[in-house]
Amino acid sequence: MADWTEKYRPTTLSEVRGNDKARKSLKQWAETWDDHRQAAIVHGSPGVGKTSAAHALANDMGWPVMELNASDSRTADDIKRFAGRASQNQTLGGGSGGRQLLIVDEADNFHGNSDYGGSREVTRIVKEANQPIVLIANEFYDMSNSLRNACEEIQFRDVSKRSIVPVLRDLCRKEGIEYEQEALEKIAENTSGDLRSAVNDLQALAEEAERLTVDDVVMGERDKTEGIFDFLDDVIKNKGAEESLYAAYDVDETPDDLLNWVEDNVPKDYRGDELADAYGYLARGDTWLGRVRSTQDYSFWRYVTDNVAAGVAASRRHDHSGWTRYGPPSYWSKLGRSKGTRKKRDAIARKIAEKGGFSIATARRDVMPFLATMTHHCKPRDLTVRMAAVYELDAAEVSFVTGSGEDTNKVQDIVADAEELRETEAVEHSGGAFEGFASDSTRGEEAAANGGEPADDPDDDGQQTLGGEDTADTAESAEDPADEEAETDDGQSGLDDWM
């Protein structure tokens, strides 16, 4: 059976589901390219339609496409040979206005000197290009500042459940599949905004059942974390060297991540000479990782896996029965509290600063802690929805500010309701959800319009209001003991790492 994500790939931007604002921005960027001549960075989570939108745009504009994947072509010579020539070409046949679109996929995989100047070369090309370029990236802030500043940013957000379900329903009709509506809703819920995964899940389930039911979806749900823990059990406790090596091939983790997992968890079972030998193999694996980084030759990864899986398993000399509490590498936790947390914090602060008309530093230092307190664990819900709507926060950003889990139904529903609220207010030209949370500059303009006197506010009783709610009352709600019992603060918001 053909891959449905390719078989039913959108051919025009109007067929791309969700992300209406981003699609309009991408269309406008293309139609006005002769005026600004900037490249565009289209970024967002995997599976939300970034690459499909770029190809659909090219089809709408009548532009031929030349595509480059940053994971395959990482050096400056690669970029010069493929992208450089295409970006300067002005004599292409068949393209509207002599244009062609250069799409650079996985553009956040360029990492400066480790890629022999690939990142610098891409930056140079986008600044000098005579052809439109779209850079596709998952992580916007993994790209260099100079590259980001040289391009127009267009963010694709996670696709809402309401947008995913109609896509799945259309596919079922086209493929002649009987289904329960609840089954489609369950698939959309499980994939957390990843439309591509939802389509893949639907196809996999449709191949196994004549009629798709919600029970089929529940039984077929993928387990994203159990695989790595089964692998740890196999390597550290249960299987021999060869079997452990084969088990490594079935885990959806890169060799460097496998090394981190095993390194942190093997001391929980191994002792003495066992542990010393295991760390010896891990050290050899780390040496091969260094060679991968220095040469960019990823064929050396197999030697990392040999040492991490087969080597550690071969070090076992005693029986290690029973259950062990394995956990994620502490190295990841440290990264999360530093670089990853700062990136997410600064991205949110940037949105707040743009809306409020003040600096990012002010947003980070003064506004974000206030919002975190006011919307702790998404309480009160209405206020959290308004915050997400005004600042256009996605699920990860709402999770960061409030401390609630990103994948919880509560956060996902809040983001969906915020999107609906933005759409409603855009139609009504309401001017924003946080009517009582205006910046000083806005209040100054209102005062000037009223002859130097501030505009009357019938709800103003001397306390600052946010979305029409009293600050004191809202703060009291956020500190309700019942709420604390329902969901304890485990520091998920990341705010305590930088406040």
DSSP string for residues in 176-197:
T-EE-HHHHHHHHHHTTT-HHH
More confident residue, 74 or 66: 66
Asked which of 132-141, 373-382, 464-473 is least confident by mean pLDDT, the reply is: 464-473
* Strands in 119-195 per DSSP E: 133-137, 151-155, 178-179
Helices (H), 367-434: 368-374, 381-391, 395-402, 409-428
Domain boundaries, given as residue ranges, for the chain? 4-155, 161-219, 229-314, 338-497
More confident residue, 274 or 432: 274
Indicate the DSSP class of residue 208.
Answer: T
> Which residue in 236, 238, 291 sits closest to 264, CA to CA?
236
Condensed to tens digits (0 to 9), the pLDDT of residues 163-206 reads 999 999 999 999 999 999 999 998 988 887 889 888 988 988 88
**Confidence band, pLDDT 50/70/90 cuts, at residue 477:** very low
Condensed to tens digits (0 to 9), the pLDDT of residues 272-319 reads 999 999 999 999 999 998 898 888 788 888 899 999 999 999 999 988
Average pLDDT of span 328-339: 59
Condensed to tens digits (0 to 9), the pLDDT of residues 130-174 reads 889 999 998 888 788 888 899 999 999 889 888 999 999 999 999
**Confidence band, pLDDT 50/70/90 cuts, at residue 463:** very low
* Dihedral Cα 377, 379, 385, 388, nearest 10 deg: -40
Is pLDDT above 80 for 239? yes
Given a contact cutoff of 8 angstroms between Cβ atoms, the answer to whether 326 and 229 are in contact is yes
Is pLDDT above 70 for 44? yes
**Confidence band, pLDDT 50/70/90 cuts, at residue 323:** confident
Indicate the DSSP class of residue 159.
Answer: P
Is pLDDT above 50 for 96? yes
Instruction: Assign domain 161-219 to a CATH class.
Output: mainly alpha
CATH architecture label of 4-155: 3-Layer(aba) Sandwich (3.40)
What's the pLDDT at 392? Answer: 92
More confident residue, 371 or 227: 371
> Which residue in 378, 374, 371 sits closest to 410, CA to CA?
378
Is pLDDT above 90 for 111? no
Average pLDDT of span 435-455: 47
- 262 sits in which H/E element: helix 255-265
Tokens of 25: 């921005």
Q: Looking at this protein, which amino acid is placed at residue 430? A: S
What's the pLDDT at 442? Answer: 47
Instruction: Provide the residue count of the chain.
Output: 499
- Tell me which residue has tokens 């956060």: 411
**Confidence band, pLDDT 50/70/90 cuts, at residue 254:** confident
Q: If you compute the radius of gyration of the chain from its CA atoms, what whole number of angstroms results?
A: 26
Query: 322 burial class (0-12, 13-18, 19+ CB within 10 angstroms)?
Result: exposed
What's the pLDDT at 34? Answer: 92
The whole-chain average pLDDT of the chain stands at 78
What's the pLDDT at 437? Answer: 45
Could you give the CA distance from residue 475 to residue 378 in angstroms, rounded to a whole number? 12
